[in-house]
Amino acid sequence: MKFDTIIAEINGFGQFQVMVILLQCISRFTLPFHFLLNNFIAAVPSHHCNIAALDDRDIFKNLSQEQRLTVSIPAQEDGTLSSCEMFPQPQLHLLYGPSNTTDTPAAECQNGWVYDTSTFTSTIATEWDLVCGKKGMTKGTATIFFIGLMCGAVVFGILSDRFGRKTMLLVTYLLALTFGLASAFSTSYMMFAIMRFFTGFSLTGISIISIILSVEWCGIENRTVAGVIVSLDWSLGSMMLSGIAYLVNDWRWLIVAVTSPLFLAVIAWWWLPESARWLIVNGKVKRAHMYLEKCAKMNNRAQFMSEIMPETLSYAKVKENSNRKYTYLDLIRTPNIRKLSLFTGIVWYGVAFTYYGISLNIGGFNLNIYLTQFIYGAIEMPAKIGTYFCLNKFGRRTTQVGTLFLTGVCIAINLFVPNMGVFRTVVAVLGKGLAEASFTTIYLYTAELYPTVVRQNGLGYVSCMGRLGVSMAPLVLLLEDVWRPLPQVIFCSVVITSSLMAWLLPETLNARLPETIEDIEARKNTVDLLEQEKADKHLKCRNSDGNEN
């Protein structure tokens, strides 16, 4: 008896499955909080050189603040005052008009900077003066965080397949809580960067384990709705972040605020079940039977499980030796899974690279960043609802290709639209929604592509590729200093390439989850047989209709 048959008999999406998803909502809310946190804690407010040292108590006392800035800080070509330079001595003749230029060369800020605190009380940029020559260090914290995510994806992929989904989920909760709070009380930039690395390292476990645990408890026909519902946590969290950041505009307390929900997640963890599919694959049939009984009872299907003994589940497990320990090397040992690993890795890189390239540029439209963050989160809701219908109507592959390609089209359009304009903002928001739709699809799609014995390893590997793309996105945004459209050209090229790679993946709509690597190697033959069977049925129906006529 196939495991998917057992799940279907005890209701593949009943109260038990809803409970599994809801219990993980608390922890999943914290993911966008931290993933997009750099938009707020690393924001660079308006600033100028500290000119207090130029005050000779004689001339300045009769000048307004605006006049003091005029005679102390050089103007740029666009008429605004420089953020990074000042005059060594006040140039009083500038009070009589901009035509009264000065030959005195400007120098770098000598005594630090003065920051506008109307939006942010403090950020890491104001805390450690990460402006002017050090402005790249604010983007660097995002890259460091995402490199931590990349490393964590590799580690937790291995540990989750070896020690179970539930056990490692608790480990990620505790580690993320510890390092998240530690980063809030960092005393130096170096300490903060290290703590953010390990926070990202820990959070990636929540990201990849929770989706697998949810999908493995659902029936074949219910995996789509489960994947979409799980992904809605991200969108809600993204919208909530804008409100939390607005209310808490000190970077240290903001980190505390977005990390604290993990205390509740630790409490909710006690009611989470282990993946019965993983238990059976690893020969732990008694525990699997116990969880399946709980599922059947909660879903009002207890009668079915009363007829199945724990020993019976042994026939549902895979044929390979349950004592074998799978590693990432198993993702490249055989031809079909090697191709699968190559293509999914490229697609994940493109999806994540583009999504975060858009998400981390909320200040690029000269709008209120809190409003932009909220709109970016809100657009994801209808995008995901539309994704649900597309996944069922057109399949996983077509939806993945379509959302990626259209995201590239939106980016390409904005390359030729002026910076200031409602149309450009609308296209950008649409592109953000499509990018999120592609992210929603790839999570579910990947979970269905890889077999149970290496599913967590597979998701760990592709998540690592995605995080590699994410870590590059903040650095690519810095290239606008070289040529302003260059980042958008790069994002557009990568996402279009990824859409072409996605077309090479097999379709998984209404297909059974593969259990072994042999299932993957036999997939092509299985697909051919299914297509032939459909063709035979279609021909039989046509012949039947012809006889009746």
pLDDT of residue 189: 95
Given pLDDT bands bounded at 50, 70 and 90, which one contains residue 324? low
Backbone phi and psi for residue 113, each to the nearest 5 degrees, phi listed first: -130, 160
Do 350 and 470 touch, CB atoms closer than 8 A?
no
Which pLDDT score, from 0 to 100, does residue 316 have?
A: 59
Q: Based on the number of CB atoms within 10 Å of its own CB, is 82 exposed (0-12), middle (13-18) or buried (19 or more)?
A: middle
Q: What's the confidence (pLDDT) of residue 532?
A: 42
The predicted structure's pLDDT at residue 444 = 81
Percent of the chain with pLDDT over 90: 38
Contact in structure between 151 and 201 (CB atoms under 8 Å): yes
CB atoms within 10 A of CB 520: 23
Mean pLDDT across 376-381:
87
**pLDDT tens track for 510-540:** 887 788 888 888 865 444 434 444 444 454 4
Distance from CA of residue 30 to its chain's centroid? 11
Instruction: Work out the pLDDT band at 547, boundaries 50, 70, 90.
Output: very low
Lowest-confidence region among 175-184, 241-250, 421-430: 421-430
- Taking residues 468-485, report their average pLDDT: 86
- Segment 420-426 shows an average pLDDT of 75
8 A C-beta contact, residue 318 and residue 516:
yes
pLDDT at position 523 is 66
The pLDDT tens digits for 220-265 are: 778 778 877 888 888 899 999 999 999 999 999 999 999 999 999 9
3-state SS record for 288-300: HHHHHHHHHHHCC
- Please tell me the pTM assigned to this model: 0.79
8 Å CB contact between 262 and 199: no
Instruction: List CB contacts of 508: < 8 A, sequence separation 6 or more.
Output: 395, 396, 445, 448, 449
Cβ atoms of 124 and 192 closer than 8 Å: yes
The CATH code that applies to domain 3-44+129-502 is 1.20.1250.20
How is residue 220 annotated by DSSP?
G
pLDDT digit string (tens) for 269-317? 999 999 998 888 888 888 988 999 999 999 998 888 877 777 777 665 4
* Mean pLDDT over the full length of the chain: 84
Measured between alpha carbons, how far is residue 269 from residues 20, 25, 36, 265, 407 in Å?
10, 11, 25, 6, 37
**CB contact at 8 A, 389 and 264:** no
Domain boundaries, the chain: 3-44+129-502, 47-115, 517-548
Instruction: Judge whether residue 407 has pLDDT over 90.
Output: yes
Token representation of residue 314? 């042994």
| Residue 319, pLDDT above cutoff 50 | no
Residue 388 has pLDDT above 80, yes or no: yes
* CA dihedral for 59, 60, 62, 66, sign (positive or negative): positive
